[in-house]
Structure 1
Amino acid sequence: MPSANMPVPALNQQAQNTPLQRWQSYLRTTPGRMSLALGLSIAGVLLVALSGFNVYRGVREAVQTVGKDTVPSIVAAERIRFVLASAHANTMNTLLLKEGETGKASTAFRSDMEQAQRELLTAAKNITYGNEEQVPITTIMTALARYEHLLGRMQARSGDAALADLDSANALMQSTILPATLALDQANFDHLTASFERHMDSYVLALLPFILFALLTLAAMIGAQWYLKQKTRRSLNTGLFAGTVIIGVTLAYAVLTLNGLEKNLTSAKRDAFDSIHALSKTRALAYEANADESLLLIQRGHPAAQTQATNSFNNRTAQIMAIKPGELANALASKIKFGGQLGVELTNITFPGEEAAAVNTLKTWARYMEIDQKIRQLEESGQHDEALTLTLGEQNGQSNWAFSEFDKALGKTIEINQQAFDRRIEMAFSELNWFPYILLIAVLASIIAVVAGMKPRLDEYRF
């Protein structure tokens, strides 16, 4: 029987040769530490790639949302609103001019309605947010059929009966159709705002891991370079040096490119689109106010209806420019801020030529408002025919001329911002298209360089 003190070397050796112990023992050797440095470098490069693609995906989604998904829908919604407001204004002009179906205002009305139908069909084909868009589009289409029916019936009637149909058509436009266009706008605008804010909040949080992994990978490669110098007596490992340079350049390229994309995206949203949105609302409000101005004269002999038209006009014009026309010159000279959509635009001047265009828009609107005051004074003093002539006149100093000048100036201001928006979105997509390929090439190149640099040194320790 063996002694109790007899050694059992086989069992002790087995206990000391677990996989973990063998790995720990290997890491104490020079080739083990070289292998660890190589593994850490490759793992770091892969983490840089994953975190870089994560940042890229977030930026691309934000650019897609702003440039392709929501902004075009918002612009389309405002265009529908503007076209319908223009159609309504042309309805009023048709009544004031007492022209037939071939008249200028009647022709413009039909053109506006046809465009509105096309825009609505396009919007219906591009629904992104379900009932938030579908319900207002359906409401507009249904109400427009009723609106045109009322106008058609009005043409066949006269006196108070015709005015009753006009009142019903006007109420339908003001209380149902135009609010539905606003709901369509708001549905997309809410999603745009929420998406943009989420992206701005998450961008830095997504970028930090990318920078951190890149710096850690650089540290691992530099550490491996130092270790090799100590152990192999060589001053520089070409492969490791190349991999370090590639990761360093990739880090600089990615940070500069992504930050440039963020600046383009922010400029497109806050500088260009916010102005486009304010100016598009201005155009719709202006046409609605223009219809109210004509309605004042149509409702001659009906004080309550005229008061309602005046109140509606004042409410809309206050939303456009919350300052009296006579005070505008002093406000511009003194850089005094004022409210209204045009006031908002004046505080968001960014692009070449935008300030001059915005100031011209304000001045032409003030001129239109001054002529409107004369029209009201003539109407109140019993000079209805003179008020009518001033309202419908297209000569210098008359209302339709002034409104046309304003619309041209407004269109120029919108165009400047729209072109800036389109350029920035186009630039963003162009840079985004290249980014993943450059990142992928850099990752593969750095891994190949590091492996090519370390493998010969590891081979030196093989027997």
Structure 2
Amino acid sequence: MRRRPPHLTRAWWNTPRLVRTLTALALTTVLAFAATTATVLTGARDGTDTIGHRSGPQAARAADLYFALNDMDAQAANLLLLGADPDYTALRRQTLETYEQRRAQADTDLQRAAEATAADPAGQRAVQTVLGELGHYEALVARSQLLTEQSHAPAGKPSAEALDAYRQATDLLRQQLLPAADQVTAANVATVEATHTERRDALADGRWWILATGLLALAVLAVLQRTLTLRFRRLLNLPLAAATLLVAAGLIAGLTLASHAADQLTVAKSNAYDSVIALNRARAVAYDMNADESRYLTDPARAAAYEQSFLDKSQTFARLDGATLTTYDDRLAKAAERHRADRTQVPFAGYLGTELGNITFGGEQDAAERLLTAYQQYQRDDRAMRALLHRGRLKDAVTFNTGLAAGQSNADFAALTAALDDVLAINQHAFEQAVADTDADLGATTATTGALVLAAVLALTLLGVRPRLREYR
């Protein structure tokens, strides 16, 4: 039987005890590194889940509800404007079909919003407000349509009773339905903002923690390898070397995944999601602007208020401080010229300014430029419509406002909304792709691979040390 040297027997800090201590320290630091990496990446996955699968889509659906309600009212205003004039029979039928489509869309959005806000009392109250009042709104619109048909009202001249019913409907929409829908959007947008800030900061700190714990684990494994080399006169402990390489690979992978998650979080939130929400709201505002034109033609008593409302919404869409309806077109044209001369310059604010200042993805710049051009044309059409009315040509103004032929206002409005949808689709696709990439990076496959690598490192470390310790038995 091999006997231990006397100095090893007598010394408290002998080789076996040193190796065992270093082994325990190596296993501890490896586990700490693994736990840190898992915590950081799990937090990133949870943040992406909140932004990409819960609050982000919920905010978009709530914005879509806002849009559907706005367009319902726009179509209701158009129905009132067209009256019972036989010249508009086909257009009236098409307008009614659009109204019914938007009503179905609003019902679907409401159902999803109700499911999504089940754990949010404030959101639930907002959804219940819309649910409770939407039926009342629809009844008022139906009454307005019925009275219009019964009175055989000409275009642009509804009966007092039909106009009163529509006024009640549109006032209800503005005072209760739209604010409630916007509250649901705002709550989810706030959640996305808070989650993004928290996850961005956590990932920034987390990458340093991954680096620190990973380097510490590598350092301890290196010391253990060095100790075995010196004490046992062997050039290399292969299992321990393999464990060290796996930890190094895990460190590189952990840092890469954390950096990629941070990049995709920026793409999803700052580059794509912010534009998605701005464009969704811009779409709702655009349809409400279009409705203001019909209201302006239909309700002379409120014409000044609807004209101001149109200007206010125009400023929301593309803000030019101090512009009036008379000066807005020229101011917008000059701002657009400056922008086209240098696309990095966006000399106006509003939703369109936000989008043009946040160009990130392929094809987005050209699509946004088409949106700007279409918006300018639609604004010019509005002035032409008002000029027709001021010259006493009410029916011509109605035809120009509601017409879908080339050069008419609603045809140009369709071009505007198509351009809006194109830009929105680009950003929506980028948002979904960034979320999908993070899901793929931090999914079950990554977690399983990480667990297997950790088990292998622990097993290899023990396998490398155990034969050396057995020499002292």
**Residue identity matched to 2:313:** R
| Residue 398 of structure 2 corresponds to residue 388 of structure 1 | yes
Q: Which runs of 5+ in 2 are unaligned?
A: 1-8, 152-158, 321-327
Question: How far apart are the structure 1 equivalents of 2:189 and 2:201?
Answer: 18
Question: How far apart are the structure 2 equivalents of 1:217 and 1:68?
Answer: 36
The residue aligned with 1:148 is 138
C-alpha displacement of 1:95: 1.6
Following TM superposition, where does structure 1 have runs of at least 4 consecutive aligned residues deviating by more than 6 angstroms? none
Question: How far apart are the structure 2 equivalents of 1:204 and 1:374?
Answer: 54
Query: The residue matched to 2:339 in structure 1 has which SS?
Result: helix
The residue aligned with 2:6 is none
Q: 1:26 to 1:254 in 2, by over 3 A?
A: farther
| Residue 445 of structure 2 corresponds to residue 460 of structure 1 | no
| 1:122-147: CA deviation from partner (whole Å, max 9, x where unpaired) | 21122254222111111112221121
C-alpha displacement of 1:293: 0.6
| Residue 52 of structure 2 corresponds to residue 77 of structure 1 | no
Question: What does residue range 5-16 of structure 1 map to in structure 2 within 5 Å?
Answer: none
C-alpha displacement of 1:402: 0.3
C-alpha displacement of 1:40: 0.9
Query: The residue matched to 1:103 in structure 2 has which SS?
Result: helix
Structure with max Cα Rg: 1
Query: The residue matched to 1:168 in structure 2 has which SS?
Result: helix
**Residue identity matched to 1:356:** D
Q: 1:404 to 1:328 in 2, by over 3 A?
A: farther
Question: How far apart are the structure 2 equivalents of 1:128 and 1:39?
Answer: 48
- The one of 462, 467, 470 equivalent to 1:451 is 462
Question: What does residue range 364-375 of structure 1 map to in structure 2 within 5 Å?
Answer: 364-375=374-385
Report if the CA contact (8 A) 1:120-1:137 is conserved.
yes
| 1:57-91: CA deviation from partner (whole Å, max 9, x where unpaired) | 21111011011110110110011111111111111
Query: The residue matched to 1:394 in structure 2 has which SS?
Result: coil
The residue aligned with 2:368 is 358
Question: How far apart are the structure 1 equivalents of 2:391 and 2:335?
Answer: 27
- The one of 120, 133, 139 equivalent to 2:123 is 133
C-alpha displacement of 1:430: 0.9
Report if the CA contact (8 A) 2:210-2:255 is conserved.
no
Give the fraction of aligned pairs with identical amino acids, expressed as a percent: 29
The residue aligned with 2:21 is 36
Query: The residue matched to 1:94 in structure 2 has which SS?
Result: helix
Question: How far apart are the structure 1 equivalents of 2:119 and 2:290?
Answer: 33
Report if the CA contact (8 A) 1:92-1:295 is conserved.
yes
Query: The residue matched to 1:236 in structure 2 has which SS?
Result: coil
Question: How far apart are the structure 2 equivalents of 1:26 and 1:454?
Answer: 21
Normalising by structure 2, we get a TM-score of 0.89
Question: How far apart are the structure 2 equivalents of 1:223 and 1:107?
Answer: 77
The residue aligned with 1:122 is 112
| Residue 171 of structure 2 corresponds to residue 171 of structure 1 | yes
Q: Which runs of 5+ in 1 are unaligned?
A: 1-23
Normalising by structure 1, we get a TM-score of 0.90
C-alpha displacement of 1:409: 0.8
Question: How far apart are the structure 1 equivalents of 2:292 and 2:433?
Answer: 38
Question: How far apart are the structure 2 equivalents of 1:288 and 1:162?
Answer: 20
Question: What does residue range 218-297 of structure 1 map to in structure 2 within 5 Å?
Answer: 218-297=218-297
C-alpha displacement of 1:272: 0.7
Question: How far apart are the structure 1 equivalents of 2:298 and 2:10?
Answer: 99
| 1:389-408: CA deviation from partner (whole Å, max 9, x where unpaired) | 21011111110000001111
Report if the CA contact (8 A) 1:81-1:284 is conserved.
yes
Q: 1:90 to 1:236 in 2, by over 3 A?
A: same
Q: 1:200 to 1:129 in 2, by over 3 A?
A: farther
Report if the CA contact (8 A) 1:56-1:436 is conserved.
no
Question: How far apart are the structure 1 equivalents of 2:12 and 2:459?
Answer: 23
| Residue 97 of structure 2 corresponds to residue 112 of structure 1 | no
Question: How far apart are the structure 2 equivalents of 1:374 and 1:132?
Answer: 44
- The one of 422, 436, 447 equivalent to 1:426 is 436
Question: How far apart are the structure 1 equivalents of 2:108 and 2:131?
Answer: 11
The residue aligned with 1:5 is none
Question: How far apart are the structure 2 equivalents of 1:267 and 1:86?
Answer: 31
Question: How far apart are the structure 2 equivalents of 1:26 and 1:426?
Answer: 59
C-alpha displacement of 1:25: 7.3
Question: How far apart are the structure 2 equivalents of 1:389 and 1:132?
Answer: 44
C-alpha displacement of 1:383: 2.2
Which moves more between the two structures, 358-367 or 112-121? 112-121
Q: 1:214 to 1:110 in 2, by over 3 A?
A: same
The residue aligned with 2:316 is 319
The residue aligned with 1:7 is none
Question: How far apart are the structure 2 equivalents of 1:322 and 1:48?
Answer: 51
C-alpha displacement of 1:202: 2.2
- The one of 340, 344, 362 equivalent to 1:333 is 340
Query: The residue matched to 1:234 in structure 2 has which SS?
Result: coil
Question: How far apart are the structure 1 equivalents of 2:196 and 2:401?
Answer: 44
Question: How far apart are the structure 1 equivalents of 2:128 and 2:189?
Answer: 19
The residue aligned with 2:386 is 376
Report if the CA contact (8 A) 1:27-1:33 is conserved.
no
Question: How far apart are the structure 1 equivalents of 2:163 and 2:113?
Answer: 33
| 1:307-360: CA deviation from partner (whole Å, max 9, x where unpaired) | 010111111111001244422431322333210101100011010000000110
Query: The residue matched to 2:442 in structure 1 has which SS?
Result: helix
| 1:397-443: CA deviation from partner (whole Å, max 9, x where unpaired) | 11000000111111111111111111111111111112222221111
Q: 1:205 to 1:329 in 2, by over 3 A?
A: closer
Report if the CA contact (8 A) 1:26-1:32 is conserved.
no
**Residue identity matched to 1:64:** D
Report if the CA contact (8 A) 2:145-2:162 is conserved.
yes
**Residue identity matched to 2:442:** L
